[in-house]
């Protein structure tokens, strides 16, 4: 029996209008930016905010689409950074004594995003799952097995991430940020197999690490996912903040 198609989009980084355009071109949004994907599923793999002009607009579009249709959004490291700046701004993060606010700002934090956050936005951000599974696919923001430091199953990982965000205890918050900020952590067989086994999945799809960085190319030349590890790892970070054109990926076409 045929299953509903699943689409995924990598890091948006405040480029709300680019995201909407990509989704319209994929037939998932109508001219009024309302969900038109019928029974299709869409996952945004985190990092809606920072670096770009309208992180709050990207959040609000994702919130609207979640209400309208089968749309989900993962927690990215930049969502954790933004919440850290808001909740723990003056608290030192790490041995160099930089604060949560300093680290957020250094990594592309936009004051316009911070100032426009509402209680509704915060409640929605706190409910973002860190990881998800769609069929044979493990969906992650970051290319790392360090998610397993949060738990040994998808539910445990997501419950722990939500607990840490709500408590906003600096030490635990920093450890969560370390986990979701890690990269290049799926390059050895042991880490990849451990992650896939915990998720009951066969393949991983992630954002976080720009394909242009991996291939040492200009982001504008990146128009499709980067497939590696014999097809078991797929990177979809199109580097919109660096000038990438962006793309939408359909899982059953990989």
Residue 134 in this model has a pLDDT that exceeds 80: yes
- Asked if 102 and 73 count as a contact pair (C-beta separation under 8 A), the reply is no
For helices 55-68 and 16-25, what crossing angle results, to 10°? 40
Residue 169 in this model has a pLDDT that exceeds 90: yes
CATH of the domain at 180: 3.60.21.10
Residue 117 in this model has a pLDDT that exceeds 60: yes
Per-residue pLDDT, 192: 97
pLDDT digits (tens, 9 = 90+) for 191-248: 999 999 999 999 999 999 999 999 999 999 999 999 999 999 999 999 999 999 999 9
Residue 2 banded pLDDT, cuts 50, 70, 90: low
Residue 6 in this model has a pLDDT that exceeds 80: yes
- Between the CA of residue 25 and those of 80, 134, 220, 246, what are the distances in Å? 30, 23, 18, 11
Query: What global pTM score does this model have?
Result: 0.96
214: in domain: yes
Contacts of 91 (CB under 8 A, 6+ apart): 99, 100, 170
Spatial distance between the Cα atoms of 108 and 52, rounded to a whole number of angstroms: 8
Q: Which domain holds residue 211?
A: 6-253
Q: Which of 49-53, 69-73, 112-116, 231-235 has the lowest mean pLDDT?
A: 69-73
Across residues 73-79, what is the average pLDDT? 98
Q: How many domains does the chain have?
A: 1
Across residues 168-174, what is the average pLDDT? 95
Across residues 58-71, what is the average pLDDT? 94
- Asked if 35 and 65 count as a contact pair (C-beta separation under 8 A), the reply is yes
Per-residue pLDDT, 69: 81
Q: SS3 of 172, please?
A: helix
42: in domain: yes
Burial of 70 (0-12, 13-18, 19+ CB in 10 A): middle
112: in domain: yes
- The rounded Cα 67 to chain-centroid distance in angstroms is 19
Q: Which alpha helices (H) appear in the chain, and where do they start and end?
A: 16-25, 55-68, 77-87, 100-106, 111-116, 119-126, 154-167, 170-181, 189-199, 211-215
More confident residue, 2 or 184: 184
Task: Look at the chain and count its residues.
Answer: 254
Per-residue pLDDT, 95: 66
1: in domain: no
Residue 1 in this model has a pLDDT that exceeds 80: no
- Percentage of the residues of the chain whose pLDDT score is greater than 70: 99
219: in domain: yes
Residue 61 in this model has a pLDDT that exceeds 80: yes
Average pLDDT, whole number, for the chain? Answer: 96
- The rounded Cα 227 to chain-centroid distance in angstroms is 18
């Amino acid at each position: 029996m045929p299953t509903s198609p699943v689409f995924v989009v990598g890091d948006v980084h405040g480029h709300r209008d680019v995201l909407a355009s990509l989704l319209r071109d994929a037939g998932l949004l109508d001219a009024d930016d309302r969900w038109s994907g019928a029974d299709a599923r869409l996952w945004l793999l985190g990092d809606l905010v920072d670096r770009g002009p309208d992180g709050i607009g990207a959040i609000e579009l994702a919130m609207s689409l979640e209400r309208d249709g089968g749309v989900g959004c993962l927690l990215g490291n930049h969502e954790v950074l933004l919440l850290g700046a808001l909740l723990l701004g003056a608290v030192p993060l790490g041995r160099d004594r930089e604060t949560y606010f300093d680290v957020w700002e250094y990594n592309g934090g936009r004051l316009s995003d911070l100032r426009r956050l509402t209680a509704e936005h915060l409640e929605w951000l706190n409910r973002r799952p860190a990881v998800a599974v769609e069929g044979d696919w493990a969906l992650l923001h970051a290319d790392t097995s360090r998610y397993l430091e949060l738990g040994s199953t998808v539910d445990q990982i997501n419950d722990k991430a939500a607990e840490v965000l709500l408590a906003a205890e600096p030490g635990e918050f920093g450890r969560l940020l370390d986990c979701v900020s890690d990269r290049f952590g799926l390059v050895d067989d042991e880490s990849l197999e451990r992650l896939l086994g915990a998720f009951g999945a066969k393949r991983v799809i992630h954002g976080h690490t720009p394909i242009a960085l991996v291939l040492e190319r200009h982001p504008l030349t990146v128009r499709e996912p980067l497939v590696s590890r014999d097809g078991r790892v797929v990177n979809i970070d199109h580097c919109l903040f660096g000038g990438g054109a962006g793309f939408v990926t359909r899982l059953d076409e990989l």
